[in-house]
Copies of this chain bind each other. A is one copy, B any other.
Amino acid sequence: MKFVIIGGDAAGMSAASRAKRRAPEMEVIVLEQTHDVSYSACGMPYNLADPTREMDDLVVRSAQVFREKQNIDLRTGHRVDRIRRKEKKVTGSTVNGEAFSANYDKLLIATGASPIKPEIEGIDLPGVMCLKLLDDGRRIKNYIQENRVSRVVIIGMGYIALEMAEALRTRDIQVAMVKPRPTLLPWMHSDLSEMVRQELLSNGIELYPGHAIKAIEGNGGGLKVVCDDITLEGQMVLVAVGVKPNSELAEEAGLELGPSKAIAVNRRLQTSDPDIYSAGDCADAFHVVTGQRTWVPLALRANRAGWAVADNVLGKNVELEGIAGTAVFKVFDLQVARTGLNVKQASKAGFDPAETVIKSRSRAHAHPGSTTIMVNLVGDRKSGKLLGAQMVGKEGVAHRINAAAVALHAGMTVEKFSQCDLAYAPPFGPVWDPLLTAANQLIKQL
C-alpha cells in the first residue's frame, strides 16, 4: 500500500505520522513544496512580537526527525502540479526544476490555504508582506529588523491582522489598520466588537475601516497606502485580508468543490474520488449546527482530519462529527471567542433566531480585579436550540466558550444549557456563569 500526501503541514504530517505509527510497513510519501514541515503557524505573530526569539522555535518536529525516526519518505522542495486520477499518479517538479512523479493507492490532498492577494496596484512592491508560511514569518521578522521599521500599515482587520497589530505594538511599532468594509469584525455583535475597538484604540492602533484601497506606492524609503480619501504611510505594508483554499490541483483533477471553493469531503474525509482524501485548510467540513458544508480553516480540525484520514486509509471507518466554528484570539488584554452561528448566519441557514447580549463580570461580587465579560447568545425560536455564542473579556473567555461549543455538538436547547452545572469560585466568575446569565435571558426571547 502506497499512501501519498501532498502537503507537509498540520493535516499532512498528522496523517503521515499516524499512518506510519500504526502501520510501519506502509509506504508513506509526503510531497511538500517548501522546506518547512510541522510548525506552529498560529504562533508566528507571538514570535514576531519578540525580537530575541528565532522564528525556527516554532518548528515542532524537523524534517529530519520525520525521515529518520519515523521513516516517513518526506520530500521537501517537491511541488505537485497535477493529479492523474486514471493512472493514480501525481506529477510535479522540484525546486531544482527536476520533474518527478509518484504513484499512489491512496492520496491525501493537504495543500492548505493561501493568503488572498487583492488586486491592488503595487501589491508586489518590496515591503508589502503576507503572513502564512514560516518563510513569510522569517521574511517579515528580517525586514522589520533590517529596515528598523517604526510604522506599519495593515490592510485587513481579521484575527490575524489583529494579532499582528498587537505583535507590532509590543515592539513599539506604530500601526495603522485599513480596510474597505465599514465594520471592524462584521461577524460579531456590535456591542462586543465595540469592546475590541476600544481595546485597539487604547493601545494606540489607528483604525481606518471603510476606506477602499486604490494603490500601494513606493515612497523613497517607505510605502504609501493610497485610499479614496486618505493616504497612510509606513515602512512596511502587511496584507491580511483572509485566506483561500489551495484547491486548484483538486479542481483541475475534476474533484468536487464545496463552499468557498474548498475541496468537498464526506465525513470520512474522502473527496468525490474515494481513493483521494483531503484534510486541513484546503478541505471543507460539515457544520454541527446547520448540518451543511462549511469552510473554516483552523488548526484543530486540520490535525483531527489528518488522523482520521490515516485511520481510514488503514481500513478503519472513522467519521468526523463536524465543526462548530469555535475560535478564540487575543487582542492585547482582550480574549475574543466564538462558536456556532451568529444571528445573520442563523437566519440564512433557515433558523428563526433570537439573540441576547449581556454584560457580566469575570469574578464574583466584591472580588478584587473583576472585569467586564460580554456574551452574545443565539437560539432558535422553533426548536429552542442553542445556535451560537460570542464572548469578549479580559479573562475567563478563551476556555469558557468551550462549554457552548460542547452544547452545540450535543444539540442542546438553550433551556437545557441554562441548567448546566458550571463551576463557580469567587476568583473565577460570578455564581451564575456569564454563559448561564445569557442563557437565562435568551430563554425569555424564545
Binding site for B on A (CB under 8 A): 10, 40, 42-43, 46-47, 50, 57-58, 60, 288, 298-301, 303-304, 320-330, 335, 337, 339, 364-368, 396, 398-403, 405-407, 409-410, 412, 416-417, 419-429, 431-433, 435-436
Contacts of A329 in B (CB 8 A): 425
New A-B pairs, 19, CB < 8 Å, besides A300-B424, A403-B405? A42-B364, A43-B365, A46-B426, A299-B424, A304-B419, A330-B428, A335-B428, A337-B423, A398-B399, A398-B423, A398-B429, A399-B399, A399-B403, A401-B423, A402-B435, A405-B420, A405-B423, A409-B416, A409-B421
Q: Is the CB–CB distance between A300 and B403 below 8 Å?
A: no
Among B58, B298, B421, which residue has its beta carbon within 8 angstroms of that of A325?
B421
In the complex, which residues of chain B have a beta carbon less than 8 angstroms from the beta carbon of A419?
304, 320-321, 409
User: A328 near B428 (CB under 8 angstroms)?
Assistant: yes
> Do B410 and A423 touch across chains, with their CB atoms under 8 A apart?
no
Q: Are B328 and A424 in touch, CB under 8 angstroms?
A: yes
Q: Which residues of B contact A422 (CB under 8 A)?
A: 300, 326, 402, 405-406
Partner of A402, one of B322, B366, B400, B412: B400
With contact pairs A399-B396, A403-B403 given, residues A328 and B366 touching in the complex (Cβ less than 8 Å): no
Chain B residues with CB under 8 Å of A42's CB are 364, 424-426, 431
- State A428–B326 Cα separation when bound (angstroms): 13
Across the interface, do B423 and A327 meet the contact criterion of CB distance under 8 Å? yes
What CA separation (Å) do A211 and B402 show in the bound complex?
42
Residues of B within 8 A of A366 (CB): 40, 43, 47, 57-58, 60
Q: Please, how many angstroms separate the alpha-carbon atoms of A174 and B425 in the complex?
A: 24
A60 to B325, CA, bound (A): 38
CB distance from A379 to the nearest CB of B (A): 15
